[in-house]
Chain A
Amino acid sequence: MNDSPSLRTGFPLTFGLDTFGDVHSDENGTLNSHAQTVRNIVEQGVLADSVGIDFFGIGEHHTYDYPLSAGDLVLSAIAARTRDIHLGSAVTVLSSDDPVRVFQRYSTLNALSSGRAEVILGRGSSIDSFPLFGYDLSDYEVLFEEKSELFAELLKGSPVTWTGTTRAALKDQDVVPHLEAEPFPTWIGVGGSPQSVVRAARHGYNLILAIIGGSPARFQPFSNLYLEALEHFERPAQPIGVHSMGHVAATDEQAQEEFWPRYLAVMKHVSKTRGFAIPTPESFKHEIGPHGAIYVGSPETVARKIAANLRVLHASRFQLKFGMTGLAHTAVMNNIELYGTKVIPLVREILGSES
């Protein structure tokens, strides 16, 4: 365990943007409609491609604040207007979906985009989809275990044979559209469940660490667990990614001024539903500092923090959850531009000059 796992993962650095479909406001501070929110996300994806960002992800949500329940449709609209950027879910709540349908939708997106689809599978940390689709939250382990197993079978290509307790069995089933070449990259998003880390390795999925609070370095044991588990299951090395939230503006002050009131508003709401304490200016300062999980600041500040944490976590992919609910559309577009044109080149420079 003491030989550095980073030496074992020589994957190229890639950078993404994730959105949950947050509702933003217009120039007068009025919240956009759901329909406008959906259309704006297409513009954000197109801008992301034009400034050289590698990946754009949409997280499945089913709430008033995050009306992106059918992100794959939005991704296909982005696909039609872009050339290079990879497009994927961040995450697909697989537990309350049908793996066959998820495969069909993303295989279709992969065809449309000429091989630019990716999928991130999640067990479901936001629970709104369970009652909506008639699933019992207390079944989440068996749902995710079985469905992630079936999805791995689907990625191998047809015909597919599978039996389980959470959906109808498949026997020599042809599932279309077939993949043209390699299966699209599929990741499992993990928030701190070691079972999910081992599961990702067992099925040969890439790993995304969703780090939403506290010190990112504390996730290093999870990266180690993943790399050890891949070896244990005699699989080749696979990439590790990090997903965290943040906001980039020209200066640290501007970024904080734009982000903090929006973050506080969202956290007040989340605190009420989750029963925990509301963040204070001090706890926020800590989270945006070197030992916290939020990436808010100038391009230099954010790039330095990304580089440090990719290194610690043996990760080659960083996905910034951008566009906190309620931010102005212009601030969001500015963030995308700075991330592509300033932050990413800086991280590459910092990490490149070290190796």
Chain B
Amino acid sequence: MTSPTSTTTLPRIGILGAGHVGPAIGRVAIKAGYPVSIAGSGDPAKIALITQILVPGAKADWPAQVAAEADIVILAIPLHKFSTFDPSLVAGKVVVDLMNYWAPIDGTQQLFEDPRYGSSEIVQRHLSGSRVVKSFNHAGYHEIEADRRPAGAADRLALGVAGDDREAVELVADLVENIGYDAVLLDSLHDGRILEPGGPVFGASLNKEQFAQALTEKTAA
């Protein structure tokens, strides 16, 4: 939505997962001027056509390569694949976790069946060498492109950004803003639980004020 002067100044986005969600995020990141690489679970040849047509301008590569070159890794794999995901791939990286756990849809997964923690906190514990930020999980990937608006537009929607590392949160908040949404920052991954399925913002299209109000109403309740 913004027109950055030079792509080289923006961090490289590495997307792991070329299913429903990964290409949709890649597409809007490219339109915001970010360099983007994308991987499925293996050989980039398998996602060459998908990349060429759904994410024109992105580079398809092996997952290890995509992760290694990225400044921000977007983890867009099915949650049931997470328990076998190799944390060393993303060690030292900022990792955006957009995965959701909702047992009625995903089936029960023991790793995420701990009511004390949000799913992204569990992801962070597993990826102990990375800085995990929870975002993009509560928006439908269908709408992510159509719903973008320039900064200041009356109908610009908000996306939550939650994390324990301030610098990482701000990097991701910039991505959210540049793509075309107002970033609403939450102070910790623990607070990010409010972005989960069943919460007040999940699947709702809210502007910044409505978003903030939904959060306070929920916290007050």
Binding site for B on A (CB under 8 A): 1, 127, 130, 136-138, 191-195, 198, 213-215, 218, 221-222, 224-225, 228-229, 232, 271, 273-277, 283, 291
Question: B193-221: contact bitstring with A at CB < 8 Å (1 yes, 0 no)?
Answer: 00011111111110000000000000000
Report how far A344 CA is from B181 CA in the complex, Å.
Answer: 40
Do B146 and A277 touch (CB < 8 A)? no
Can you report 10 A-B residue pairs in the complex whose CB atoms are below 8 A from each other? A127-B107, A192-B142, A195-B18, A214-B140, A215-B143, A218-B146, A221-B53, A275-B102, A275-B104, A283-B205
Instruction: Give chain A residues whose Cβ lies under 8 Å from the Cβ of B23.
Output: 194
Residues from chain A with a CB closer than 8 A to the CB of B199 are 275
Give B76-94 interface residues, CB cut-off 8 Å to A: 78, 80
Q: How far apart are B85's CB and chain A's nearest CB, in angstroms? A: 14
In Å, the complex CA distance between A255 and B49 comes to: 41
Interface pair B53/A1, CB less than 8 Å apart: yes
Once the chains bind, are B106 and A137 in contact (CB under 8 Å)? yes
Residue ID in chain A nearest B51 by CB atoms? A194
Q: Do the beta carbons of A138 and B142 come within 8 Å of each other?
A: no
| Nearest neighbor of B205 in chain A, beta-carbon distance | A283
Are A277 and B203 neighbours in the complex by a CB distance under 8 Å?
A: yes
Which B residues are CB-close (under 8 A) to A276? 197, 202-204
A130, A193, A274: the one contacting B197 at CB < 8 Å is A274
B4 interfacial by beta-carbon distance below 8 Å:
no
A215, B203: Cβ atoms closer than 8 Å: no
Query: CB < 8 Å: which of B19, B53, B197, B198 contacts A224?
Result: B53
Contact B50 A198 (CB under 8 A): yes
Beyond A1-B53, A198-B49, A275-B104, 9 extra complex contacts between A and B, CB < 8 Å = A136-B107, A195-B18, A213-B140, A215-B142, A221-B54, A232-B49, A273-B104, A273-B105, A275-B199
Q: Do A225 and B54 touch (CB < 8 A)? A: yes
Judge whether B141 is part of the interface by a CB distance below 8 angstroms. Answer: yes
CA distance A275 to B104 in the complex (A): 9
4 A-B pairs with least C-beta separation: A276-B203, A275-B197, A277-B204, A138-B80
Query: Are B104 and A228 in contact, CB atoms less than 8 angstroms apart?
Result: no
* B53 in contact with A137 (CB, 8 Å): no
Nearest residue (CB) in A for B146 is: A215
Task: Write out the residue numbers on chain A whose beta carbons fall within 8 Å of the beta carbon of B78.
Answer: 138
* CB <8 Å contact, A193 and B19: yes
Given known pairs A214-B142, A214-B146, the reply for A192 and B197 (CB within 8 Å) is no
CA distance A215 to B47 in the complex (A): 25
Complex contact A193–B140 (CB within 8 A): no
How many Å from the CB of A153 to the closest CB on chain B?
21
Q: How far is the CA of A229 from the CA of B46 in the complex (A)?
A: 12
> What's the nearest-Cβ distance from chain A to residue B132, in Å?
21
Main secondary structure of the interface of A (DSSP, over half): helix
B105: chain A residues at CB < 8 Å are 127, 273-275
Query: Cβ of A277: which chain B residues have Cβ within 8 Å of it?
Result: 200-204
Bound: A193/B18 CA distance, A: 9
* The residue from B20, B145, B196, B200 contacting A192, defined by CB atoms under 8 A apart: B20
- B142–A228 CB distance below 8 A: no
- Asked if B142 and A137 make an inter-chain contact with CB atoms under 8 angstroms apart, the answer reads no
A195 to B20 Cα, complex, angstroms: 9
Is B20 in contact with A193, judged by CB distance below 8 angstroms?
A: yes
Are the CB atoms of A195 and B19 closer together than 8 Å? yes
Set A192, A271, A273, A291: member contacting B141, Cβ < 8 A: A192
Tell me whether B107 and A228 are in contact (CB under 8 A).
no
In whole angstroms, what is the CA distance A128 to B109 when docked? 17
Do B146 and A229 touch (CB < 8 A)?
no
Query: Quick check: A275 and B202 within 8 Å, CB to CB?
Result: yes
Give complex CA distance A222, B24 in Å.
12
Q: Which of B95-132 contact A (CB under 8 A)?
A: 102, 104-107, 109
CA distance A152 to B207 in the complex (A): 47
Query: In the complex, A211→B197 CA distance in Å?
Result: 22
CB pair A194–B50 under 8 Å, yes or no, is: yes
| A291-B146 in contact (CB<8A) | yes
Which residue of chain A has the shortest Cβ distance to B196 in the bound complex? A275
| Interface contact A225-B49, CB-CB below 8 Å | yes
What is the minimal beta-carbon distance from B22 to any residue of chain A, in angstroms? 9
The residue on B at minimum CB distance from A225 is B53
> Using Cβ atoms and an 8 Å threshold, which residues of chain A touch B198?
275
Q: How far is the CA of A291 from the CA of B205 in the complex (A)?
A: 15
Contacts of B196 in A (CB 8 A): 275
Whole-angstrom distance from the CB of A271 to the nearest CB of chain B? 8
- Output the nearest chain A residue to B40 by Cβ-Cβ distance: A195
Report chain A residues within 8 Å CB of B49: 198, 225, 228-229, 232
